[in-house]
Amino acid sequence: MSKRDLKKYLKELDKEQLEEQLLELYEKFSDVKTYYDFVFNPKEDKLLQEARLKISNEYFPLKGKRAKLRRSVAQKYIKHFLSLGVDSFVVADLMFHNLEVAQKYTARREIRYASFYKSMLNSFEQVVKYAIENGMVSEFKDRILEIKNTAFRQNWENKEEFERFFDLVE
- The pLDDT tens digits for 117-145 are 999 999 999 999 999 999 999 999 999 99
Q: What is the pLDDT of residues 20-63, one digit of tens each?
A: 999 999 999 988 888 888 888 888 889 999 999 999 999 999 88
Give the total residue count for the chain. 170
Q: What is the pLDDT of residues 85-112, one digit of tens each?
A: 899 999 999 999 999 999 999 999 988 8
Radius of gyration of the chain (CA): 20
> In angstroms, rounded to a whole number, what is the distance separating the alpha carbons of residues 60 and 141?
26
Nearest-10 crossing angle of helices 30-40, 15-28: 110
pTM of the model: 0.83
